[in-house]
Amino acid sequence: MGLFSKDLQKTEAIREYKEARRELERVSRGITEETDEYLAANRRVIDAEKHVPWWRR
């Protein structure tokens, strides 16, 4: 059971990271300054990537 729960956690972390990256891309499209929305999306990516191995990013 423990082995599968770790795989599930990794899968969830990777999914969250990819979703955060897509959101950052959407928010940053067409802007010329750092907005609050951009900074929040960027922070979400940073927080999400802490749970994903470097080789999966």
Per-residue pLDDT tens over the stretch 8-52: 788 899 999 999 999 999 999 999 999 999 999 999 999 999 999
DSSP letter for 52, please.
S
- Give the pLDDT score at 39: 97
Return the H-helix or E-strand segment holding 48.
helix 36-49
Q: Give the separation between CA 48 and CA 6, rounded to whole angstroms.
A: 16
| pTM to 2 decimal places | 0.81
Domain, as residue range, for 11 = 2-56
- Give the pLDDT score at 28: 95
Contacts of residues 4-11 at CB distance under 8 Å and 24 or more positions apart, as own/partner, are 9/51, 10/52, 10/53
- Total structural domains within the chain: 1
Q: Which residue has the higher pLDDT, 1 or 12?
A: 12
